[in-house]
A and B are shown apart, each in its own frame.
Chain A
Amino acid sequence: MTQLSSVRPDGSRVPIFPSDVRGRFITSRRVVFAALIGIYLASPLVTIGGHPAVQLDVEHRRFYLFGSTFNSQDFWIVLFLATGFAFSLLFVTAWRGRLWCGWACPQTVFLEGLYRPIERLFDGSREKRLKLAGSPWTAGRVLRLVGKHATWFAISLFISHAALSLFVSTHDLIEMVRQGPANSPLAFSWALGVTALLHFNFTWFREQFCVVICPYGRMQSLLHDAHSVVIGYDVRRGEPRGHLKKDGPKLGDCIDCKLCVTACPTAIDIRNGLQMECIACAQCVDACDEVMDKVHRPRGLIRYAAQSAFDGKTVQKVRPRLVLYAVLTLACFAALAVTMSQRKAFEANVLRLAGVPWVLEGTSVRNQFEVHLVNKSPHPAQLRVAVTSPVPAEIRIAEAEVTLKSFEDRRVQVVVTIEKAALRPGLDLQVTVDDLTSGGQRVKGLSFLFPKGP
């Protein structure tokens, strides 16, 4: 292809009016869209252990995920989650193409699952929409436009508020809405900004996001190989294409009805081969299958298959890149599982007091430090601090046992005094913190500092 199918040579946008399709893929996709939207809406509403299943309280750095609680110190775990998802995306792409784009990406889910059906409801089929686009601005057309955009805006408002409730909890969000924008200007501007962005994106920008902005879309040529399953056109079966004629020359199976082109939400002709714009939505597959049924030819002229299969070569199912991506995906998720199972419900860190490495006091040396405790569990926790020394020492702990509320933290002061005679290099104290509530334990070492010399 010499240029994008959705941009004209002068840089203006080619408006796209995808036609309706019927078939197994669009039906399954709608089921998947409904399920994904359901999960999205349910995650802030369902409560597990007294907290929403998903709440990312960024303001207070408290993160509730499916019954577990995290604070900002746990952020490093996101590394395993993010890399795990990234590698699994690479794996799926190399194995089955852009399944993500066509079936699970929010851009597709909301566009094809909500916004496009609303447009269809107000403006009718592709033919009607094309006619409407070229018609004069009558009162009826204006009314349709206003009704369509009002419905879209309501949907955008709803989606943005659902997004906001992931951050502030549904309960708080309802309270904020009741009290009005003046009392929570930040949340209100987020809701309004996200609404405007969603509205702009899903009613006008649409496929331009996938074609021009999305980095995943631009990486496809690196991730695919000839054996990746993509959506393709069977050139050997279809060509030479041509309209059905009773006594014409014998042609291929493609009757050149162009329904695969009109069904495409990014306006490409899949018969030109796999293109950067293809989001693998399979609407051309459904469109073509229906036509093939009508002309009594086998389905699958356009289908999910590897390029090597279309070329009549053998498809290599196991390839080095697949193995590599699978191993990396598994490694990341295994690391995540180990991390989560080893996770303790509290943090304990030993910090020396600023500017006071040691204090000389007559015949003894004093070290002062504090034990910073954070209860990360969703419940109150009783923590016990104990300090042991290998040599006789006077150990004073301001509060050996503290009870902390969920996400509360405390600095426990500790003073250790050791006679000079008992000092030796490499003298290590041991700080043990027991969580009497959950049974967890953390042990920290701390070397006792003292000046050299007599």
Chain B
Amino acid sequence: MIDDKKPAAPVHHVYDGIIEEDNHLPNWWLAILFGTIVFGFGYWLVYQTTEVLPNPVAAYKLDAAAEAKLHPETAPMTNDALVALVDDPALVAAGKESYATTCVACHRQNGEGLVGPNLTDAVWIHGGKPTDIHAAISNGFPEKGMPPWGKTLGPTKVRAITAFVLTLKGKNLPGKEPQGQPE
């Protein structure tokens, strides 16, 4: 609606009786505009150029390093560390539970083997050292049907399953015929 009053701001153009004016923007709006420009410059100065504070990538790396320290199970495994896990009954129990949902379809309830090899005998296809077992669970042997479980289950569960499988070692249950070489 066109007012009789004189326009307060310069008229940009008129088209079909519709006036485009150049009114002053609300001051609070302009404050936000200039405020963000100042903030952006400050951010660039603090995080990107002088790096007085660590920039987001560096801060993430610092946080990730601190997080890794809090979770030693993600660190590379050694034979001794894995063998020590067997003495933790809670961990072995957790491993047994994960084994029951993940591994039994191929390796049977007590590791006597079915589709997959017998885990209780003295011979191993891919090595029987604790680190070998851990690597087999984590990375799998897809070409033979053993899926890589590391990503799906996460480091804690893989570690627990390794501990449980280590308790099966040497039980020599009747099941799948022995495959592979002695450890």
Interface residues, chain A, with chain B CB atoms under 8 Å away: 1-4, 7-13, 205, 208, 212, 272-273, 275, 353-356, 359, 361, 366, 368, 396-399, 410-415, 417
A355 to B147, CA, bound (A): 7
- B21/A3 in contact, CB under 8 A: yes
Q: Please indicate the chain A residues that have their CB under 8 angstroms from the CB of B19 in the complex.
A: 2
Q: Please indicate the chain A residues that have their CB under 8 angstroms from the CB of B106 in the complex.
A: 368, 396, 413, 415
- A9/B8 in contact, CB under 8 A: yes
Q: Please indicate the chain B residues that have their CB under 8 angstroms from the CB of A205 in the complex.
A: 28
A185 to B10, CA, bound (A): 51
A208 to B114, CA, bound (A): 72
A3 to B19, CA, bound (A): 11
A360 to B21, CA, bound (A): 77
Q: Please indicate the chain B residues that have their CB under 8 angstroms from the CB of A396 in the complex.
A: 105-106, 114-115
- A368/B145 in contact, CB under 8 A: yes
Q: Please indicate the chain A residues that have their CB under 8 angstroms from the CB of B94 in the complex.
A: none
- B9/A3 in contact, CB under 8 A: yes
Q: Please indicate the chain A residues that have their CB under 8 angstroms from the CB of B140 in the complex.
A: 355
A417 to B106, CA, bound (A): 11
- Convert B95-133 into 0s and 1s, putting 1 for each residue whose CB lies closer than 8 angstroms to a CB of A: 000001111111000000011000000000000000000
A413 to B1, CA, bound (A): 71
A9 to B24, CA, bound (A): 6
Does residue B49 face the partner (Cβ distance < 8 Å to A)?
A: no
A1 to B3, CA, bound (A): 5
Does residue B15 face the partner (Cβ distance < 8 Å to A)?
A: no
- B145/A413 in contact, CB under 8 A: no
How many chain B residues touch A (Cβ–Cβ < 8 Å)?
35
- B3/A2 in contact, CB under 8 A: yes
Given A396-B114, A397-B105, A415-B115, A354 and B30 touching (CB < 8 A)?
no
- A413/B102 in contact, CB under 8 A: yes
- Convert B127-158 into 0s and 1s, putting 1 for each residue whose CB lies closer than 8 angstroms to a CB of A: 00000000000001011110110011000000
- B105/A415 in contact, CB under 8 A: yes
Q: A11 touches which one: B3, B24, B100, B103 (CB < 8 A)?
A: B24
A433 CB to closest chain B CB (Å) equals 16
Closest chain B residue, CB of each to CB of A353: B147
A376 to B52, CA, bound (A): 48
A9 to B23, CA, bound (A): 7
Q: Please indicate the chain B residues that have their CB under 8 angstroms from the CB of A397 in the complex.
A: 105
A201 CB to closest chain B CB (Å) equals 12
Closest chain B residue, CB of each to CB of A2: B7
- B24/A7 in contact, CB under 8 A: yes
Closest chain A residue, CB of each to CB of B151: A354
Q: Please indicate the chain A residues that have their CB under 8 angstroms from the CB of B145 in the complex.
A: 356, 359, 361, 366, 368
B51 CB to closest chain A CB (Å) equals 26
Given A2-B2, A368-B145, 11 other A-B residues pairs in contact with their CB atoms under 8 A: A2-B9, A2-B21, A2-B23, A3-B21, A354-B152, A356-B142, A359-B143, A366-B145, A396-B106, A413-B104, A414-B105
Q: Which of A2, A8, A415 has the most CB of B within 10 A?
A: A2
Q: Please indicate the chain B residues that have their CB under 8 angstroms from the CB of A4 in the complex.
A: 23, 26
Q: Please indicate the chain B residues that have their CB under 8 angstroms from the CB of A208 in the complex.
A: 26, 28
Given A11-B25, A355-B148, A3 and B105 touching (CB < 8 A)?
no
A410 CB to closest chain B CB (Å) equals 7
A2 to B23, CA, bound (A): 8
Does residue B34 face the partner (Cβ distance < 8 Å to A)?
A: no
A10 to B151, CA, bound (A): 61
A218 to B101, CA, bound (A): 57
- B147/A398 in contact, CB under 8 A: no
- B26/A10 in contact, CB under 8 A: no
Does residue B12 face the partner (Cβ distance < 8 Å to A)?
A: no
Does residue B5 face the partner (Cβ distance < 8 Å to A)?
A: yes
A2 CB to closest chain B CB (Å) equals 5
A356 to B143, CA, bound (A): 7
- B102/A411 in contact, CB under 8 A: yes
Q: A272 touches which one: B3, B30, B114 (CB < 8 A)?
A: B3
- B142/A398 in contact, CB under 8 A: no
Q: Please indicate the chain B residues that have their CB under 8 angstroms from the CB of A398 in the complex.
A: 100-102, 104-105
Given A411-B152, A417-B115, A2 and B27 touching (CB < 8 A)?
no
Q: A7 touches which one: B21, B26, B152 (CB < 8 A)?
A: B26
Q: Which 4 A-B pairs have the closest CB atoms?
A: A355-B142, A359-B145, A11-B24, A353-B147
A379 to B115, CA, bound (A): 36
- A2/B5 in contact, CB under 8 A: yes
A179 CB to closest chain B CB (Å) equals 22
